[in-house]
Amino acid sequence: MDYIVNIKNGIKNYDNFLALKNINLSIKKGEFVAIIGSSGAGKSTLLRSINAMNPLTSGNMIFDGEDISKLSGGKLRKVRREIGMIFQHYNLIERLSVMQNVLHGRLGYMSDFKGFFELYSEQDKAKAFNILKRLGLDEHCYKKASELSGGQKQRVGISRALAQNPKLILADEPIASLDPKSSEIVMDTLKNICLEDNITCIVNLHQVEFAKAYATRIIGMKKGVVVFDDSPEKLTEEMISEIYGKNI
Ligand SMILES: Nc1ncnc2c1ncn2[C@@H]1O[C@H](COP(=O)(O)OP(=O)(O)OP(=O)(O)O)[C@@H](O)[C@H]1O
């Protein structure tokens, strides 16, 4: 089986608090996985452990066949450039143009010197422009990121992730700050590019209905444990109550 992520006995401790309790998960290439669960269940911790932004305390994190648990420096940087990240609050540099923000997705492929002075190649610029065109943002290309709506900013976030040529996209609550219509546009965009480019996606979602509508697989977390892992059709009302407890 062709897996992009394998987590073996994944444990995360914050001081004395056990946020992830012995996680064992395998994600196949091409899956579109939604992680759901109450606030504090460990969704962000799990997602951010995958690219070692917030590394596991113990256990193995295998990305595309390579155990990245012990990697650091240049080797980790090389792995990370293949993992795009999308954030709830977009993480754009607001005073910079849309184009410059998307070009930041190319930094992992540049030398420190070229990266520091942002000396992008013509090829990188053409790539960034083509991505923006594909996502219907080309007319905003030279605007400052601050001038865009939330939904547009998130599509710039997706564009920046795409500029990395990612094998995997991790999206941490990508629609939590958006209205329902913009949420739909952002989720449609994310789902379509992942399907078209054969990118695996793992997305944390608060909204169960979006998880059911878009995911090929849903993982339910509760108190640092995976309590549900199956197809969206199998997610019954009883199971939703079990995952969210009294919080729903
Ligand atoms: N840096 C940290 N230091 C200490 N505890 C933390 C830290 N980050 C998270 N936690 C704790 O770990 C648990 C899991 O947090 P996490 O952010 O992963 O949950 P979540 O399911 O993503 O929640 P939310 O939906 O609110 O973002 C929570 O109890 C949280 O308080």
| Cα–Cα dist 209/186, whole Å | 15
pLDDT of 70:
85
Q: Tell me, what's the pLDDT at 246? A: 59
Tell me the C-alpha distance between 85 and 198, whole Å. 16
Task: Provide the pLDDT for residue 126.
Answer: 96
Kindly report the protein residue whose alpha carbon is nearest to atom 28 of ligand 1. Answer: 40
19 Cα to the center of ligand 1, angstroms: 7
For residue 37, how far is its CA from the centre of ligand 1 (angstroms)? 12
What pLDDT is stored for residue 164 in this prediction? 97
What the block records as the tokens of 115 is: 């990266």
pLDDT tens digits, one per residue of 81-90: 999 999 999 9
Residue 152 Cβ contacting ligand 1 at under 6 Å = no
Tell me if 247 sits within 8 A of 40, measured CB to CB: no
Question: What's the average pLDDT block by block, 10 residues per block, for the chain (248 residues)?
Answer: 93 95 97 96 96 94 93 90 96 97 92 84 95 96 97 97 98 96 96 97 96 98 96 96 76
ipTM confidence score: 0.96
224 contacts 18 by C-beta, under 8 angstroms: yes
Phi, psi of 3 (to 5 degrees): -100, 145
